[in-house]
Amino acid sequence: MGFENIVACKPVGSGEGVFEAVNPSTGEKIPGQFQIADSALIDSALKAAKEACQLLKNIGGANKAEFLRAVADEIAAQTSNLVEIAMAESGLPQARLQGEVNRTTGQLRMFADLVAEGSWVNAVIDTAQPDRVPLPKPDIRKLLMPLGPVVVFGASNFPLAFSVAGGDTASAFAAGCPVIVKVHPAHPGTSALVGEAICKAALSTGMPQGIFSMLYDAGYTIGEQLVKHPETKAVAFTGSYNGGMALIKLAQQRHDLIPVFTEMGSINPVVFLPEALKSRPQELANKYAGSIALGAGQFCTNPGLMLAVQSPGLDQFVDTISEAVKATPSATMLTGGIWQNFQKLSEASIAEEAVSVIAQSTNINQNNINQAASVVLKVSGKDFLNNPKLQQEVFGPLSILVVAENAEQLEKIVETLHGQLTVTVMAEKAELSAYRSLLDKLNNIAGRLILNGVPTGVEVCAAMQHGGPFPATSDSRYTSVGTSAIYRFARPVAWQDWEDSLLPKELQDANPLNIWRLVNNQWTK
């Protein structure tokens, strides 16, 4: 079985060779050959995308919503096939992938609702004041327009929800941008099915064909060329710090400047306050043993750092999490490379001076390869402060418990942390007021603050902020999850003294789309 690249919603052959997917649980190749793309396909994809822009920017929200819902429907219709292929390609369990299909279709439908309603364009109208002195005031109206062709990199750890039709693609489509996906080579078969679903939906809802292309590569060449292509107007990426920064550096070689949103993960510190540790040490320990191991630790919001002050409650917490971690079953990591990297980095962390192992899973699946064993390490607050290497993300089920001498040291540690996607506080309500100074510093370093929960599990909704100060993302002003993700791909355009009938409907006097607008500084509908 051979798979061609998709250019402007059509399969196109290339002669650059092929690659195959690998089952990470067995190391065996999965039947099916994927053609590696080439420069000519990139040019064709971007040329078609540019042409599609001219049509797409004038397609109404209702039509865009119809397309997004059709993509969701086409994907939903393939659920069992998708789950089967994705299980083989990713080593992730069935229930997780079933949930991910639902999240993927849910995201598409959420963006469909957003653009069907229409107020997301942030329409602002200031009407004319011809009699104003010393100068008359013109009529000015603005709204958001699509940026242009967006290159999306499929993420390894969400073969559906952050891959071909994932959050980046859905938000770019919703903004009215064509998308060129660089397929993640770890799940090309899953990608092929999803790509086909998008093409079907584009055809059935009358979208311009240039709205979607999807290119395969076993290495980095195609991605590099896509980021540097003159017609690329934005890039979206979820992955490692090294991968994200490589794309940023490539984009810096362009003649122009384009937004490159890279979500590069973080260590998601969790602060355990003493009363919580005293009153429910076992509960917290079991909850966190589970969060650390979830998805083999392969989440951007995996809790890689736990912070607490020495106390008897902490000792009980350590005892329980130690037992829980030892018993946690190993899990297949997404690829052999990710597993090797986890092994290397976790061994390096263990070898760091003054770091000790609290527990490591002994419940290893011997039938499969690339098995990640949960591990929890310990270091003193002082030693943590002296060793910046311990802030490095280890992608996988590893967490470091930092035991501070006292509350002051705990606060000092928080001050030294790099930018994070999340910070979590586990606390009793009554003790929170004693930590106001500490709590007030948490929002300096993170995009999302969680109380008495776990950072894993990112709700997809309007209020979600999945982003954070560098190095968590390349631009803390944006999110890659939730409806606000659309704002990465749109820019304001203002019309001054324009003819009403020639304005976008969103800005016409009669407000024919009945959207919320800021008119002369008042929100009205």
**Nearest to a second copy of 353, 499 (CB atom):** 499
The residues in 239-268 that bind a second copy, with binding defined as CB under 8 A, are 248, 252, 256-259
Locus of tokens 């990139």: 42
Burial group, residue 400, by CB count within 10 angstroms (0-12, 13-18, 19+)? buried
Strand, coil or helix: 186: coil
Q: Left, alpha or beta for 514 (phi > 0: left; psi -120 to 50: alpha)? A: left
**Nearest to a second copy of 240, 474 (CB atom):** 474
The answer to whether residue 476 forms part of the interface with a second copy (CB under 8 A) is: yes
**Nearest to a second copy of 58, 356 (CB atom):** 58
The residues in 97-136 that bind a second copy, with binding defined as CB under 8 A, are 99, 113, 119, 124-126, 134-135
The answer to whether residue 327 forms part of the interface with a second copy (CB under 8 A) is: no
Distance of CA 291 to the CA centre of its chain: 18
Beta-carbon contacts of 431 under 8 Å, excluding residues fewer than 6 positions away, are 273, 274, 275, 276
Instruction: Write out the catalytic residue numbers.
Output: 263, 300
The answer to whether residue 514 forms part of the interface with a second copy (CB under 8 A) is: no
**Nearest to a second copy of 171, 335 (CB atom):** 171
The answer to whether residue 521 forms part of the interface with a second copy (CB under 8 A) is: yes
**Nearest to a second copy of 206, 457 (CB atom):** 457
- What is the rounded distance in angstroms from the CA atom of residue 313 to the CA atom of residue 309? 10
The answer to whether residue 499 forms part of the interface with a second copy (CB under 8 A) is: yes
Q: Among 203, 327, 364, 461, which residue interacts with a second copy (rule: CB under 8 A)?
A: 461
Give min distance, CB of 505 to a second copy, in A.
14
The answer to whether residue 290 forms part of the interface with a second copy (CB under 8 A) is: no
Give min distance, CB of 443 to a second copy, in A.
5
The answer to whether residue 351 forms part of the interface with a second copy (CB under 8 A) is: no
What backbone torsions phi and psi does residue 447 show, to the nearest 5 degrees? -90, -25
Which residue spans within 190-309 are E strands per DSSP? 212-215, 234-238, 260-263, 269-272, 305-309
- What is the rounded distance in angstroms from the CA atom of residue 173 to the CA atom of residue 451? 34
x/- letters, 477..496, toward a second copy (CB under 8 A): x-x----x--x--xxxxxxx
The answer to whether residue 511 forms part of the interface with a second copy (CB under 8 A) is: no
The answer to whether residue 147 forms part of the interface with a second copy (CB under 8 A) is: yes
**Nearest to a second copy of 126, 383 (CB atom):** 126
The residues in 29-68 that bind a second copy, with binding defined as CB under 8 A, are 53-54, 57-58
Q: How many residues can be counted in the chain?
A: 525
Instruction: Give the range of 14-22, 83-91, 209-217, 464-472 binding a second copy by CB under 8 A.
Output: 464-472
Beta-carbon contacts of 87 under 8 Å, excluding residues fewer than 6 positions away, are 93, 94, 97
Three-point CA angle 453, 241, 303, nearest 5°: 20
Q: Which residues does residue 276 pair with via DSSP β-bridges, in sequence order? A: none
Q: Among 12, 30, 76, 140, which residue interacts with a second copy (rule: CB under 8 A)?
A: 140
Give min distance, CB of 458 to a second copy, in A.
10
- What is the rounded distance in angstroms from the CA atom of residue 150 to the CA atom of residue 233? 6
